[in-house]
């Protein structure tokens, strides 16, 4: 059903008009759409503008798009040079992921391959969950990936998993009809909240650690997902 509402785009198509965001409307929608009219390139980075570049359909595949990063055909992006940084920060073999399992990343993430593959698993599970709710997931908006910093940015704390390319933060999800679901705004609220709960649970099935709004205040606006191995079951809260 939802497929009928999600026309696919071949790369290079002119951006299609983005419908005004409905139901889960987030304020930037209309403004970004207007900016896009005047500044198509800049707007390609904007939430609404990016909808135009959503899932690469069969055309892109037929054209022989790259076979996938990290040995995973669901991942699109490119390998980067090693990231060297002071102390224990850095990533020996980083990749920049731009699309996972047909879902666009509104900000590319820089992570190691293990994290990239876990991310593709998570997207696949989250898409399936979305479909069960009648949603067609088109894009996610990460809010963090590689960064050399201590936990919570607190001086003296141990290094965050972000500092090793092991972690991704995700703040928002965009459906193919333009609706935006924000962790900050929709957690615990209605059908969008049910979608978020399922996405959080999918994190628990895909990553070693999944933290969301019920963990603590700093996670009120995003999910933290990392591949750190723990004794026993994944950390999921
Ligand atoms: Zn994080």
User: What does the pLDDT look like over 57-111, one tens digit per residue?
Assistant: 444 343 334 467 999 999 999 999 999 998 889 999 999 999 999 999 999 999 9
Spatial distance between the Cα atoms of 141 and 181, rounded to a whole number of angstroms: 10
**Domain annotation covers residue 167:** yes
Distance 144 CA to ligand 1 centre (A): 7
Q: What's the 218 CA to ligand 1 centre distance in angstroms?
A: 10
Mean pLDDT, range 160-169, rounded to an integer: 96
Judge whether 218 lies within some domain. Answer: yes
Span of 48-62, 100-114, 139-153, 179-193 with lowest mean pLDDT: 48-62
Strands 167-175 and 223-226, how do they pair? antiparallel
CA 76 to ligand 1 centroid distance, Å: 22
As a whole number of angstroms, the distance between CA 123 and CA 100 comes to 7
For the domain that residue 227 is a member of, what is the CATH number? 3.30.1380
CA of 115 to the centre of ligand 1 (A): 13
Gap between the Cα atoms of 232 and 114, Å rounded: 19
Task: Tell me the C-alpha distance between 197 and 186, whole Å.
Answer: 10
102 C-alpha to ligand 1 centroid (Å)? 23
Q: Taking a C-beta distance cutoff of 8 angstroms, is the pair 28, 48 a contact?
A: yes
Nearest by Cα to 36 from 54, 19, 18: 18
State in Å, rounded, how far the first CA of the chain is from the last one: 33
Residue 28: enclosing H or E segment and its boundaries?
helix 28-38
For the stretch 195-237, pLDDT in tens is 999 999 999 999 999 999 999 999 999 999 999 877 788 899 9
34 within domain boundaries:
no
Tokens 């928002």 -> residue: 172
Q: Which of 131, 121, 108, 112 is nearest to 53 (CA)?
A: 108
Count of domains observed in the chain: 1
CA of 70 to the centre of ligand 1 (A): 22
Share of the chain above pLDDT 90, in %: 63
Distance 162 CA to ligand 1 centre (A): 6
Q: How far is the CA of 192 from the centre of ligand 1 (A)?
A: 22
Distance (Å) from CA 11 to ligand 1 centroid: 31
pLDDT computed for residue 229 by the predictor: 77
pLDDT attached to residue 86: 82
Centre of ligand 1 to C-alpha 188, Å, is: 20
Q: Is residue 9 part of a domain?
A: no
- Give a yes or no: residue 28 inside a domain: no
List residues bridging with 175 in a β-sheet. 137
Q: Is residue 33 part of a domain?
A: no
Give the model's pLDDT for residue 174.
Answer: 98
The backbone torsions φ and ψ at residue 27, rounded to the nearest 5 degrees and listed phi first, read -50, -40
Q: Are 132 and 191 in contact (CB under 8 A)?
A: no
Q: Which domain holds residue 187?
A: 78-236
Q: Is residue 197 part of a domain?
A: yes
């Amino acid at each position: 059903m939802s497929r009928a509402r999600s026309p696919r785009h071949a790369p290079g198509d002119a951006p299609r008009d983005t419908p005004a965001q409905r139901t889960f409307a987030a304020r930037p929608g209309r403004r970004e759409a207007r900016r896009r009219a005047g500044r198509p390139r800049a707007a390609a980075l904007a939430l609404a503008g990016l909808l135009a570049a959503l899932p690469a359909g069969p055309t892109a595949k037929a054209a022989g798009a790259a076979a996938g990063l990290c040995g995973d055909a669901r991942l699109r992006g490119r390998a980067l040079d090693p990231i060297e940084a002071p102390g224990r920060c850095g990533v020996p073999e980083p990749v920049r992921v731009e699309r996972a399992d047909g879902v666009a990343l509104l900000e590319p993430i820089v992570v190691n391959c293990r994290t990239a593959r876990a991310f593709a698993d998570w997207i696949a599970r989250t898409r399936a969950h979305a479909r069960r709710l009648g949603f067609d997931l088109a894009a996610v908006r990460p809010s963090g990936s590689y960064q050399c910093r201590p936990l919570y940015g607190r001086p003296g704390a141990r290094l965050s998993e972000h500092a090793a390319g092991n972690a991704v933060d995700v703040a928002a999800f965009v459906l193919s009809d333009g609706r935006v679901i924000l962790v900050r705004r929709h957690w615990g609220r209605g059908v969008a909240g049910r979608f978020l709960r399922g996405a959080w649970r999918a994190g628990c099935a895909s990553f070693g650690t999944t933290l969301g709004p019920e963990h603590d205040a700093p996670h009120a606006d995003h999910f933290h997902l990392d591949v750190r191995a723990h004794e026993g079951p994944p950390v999921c809260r």
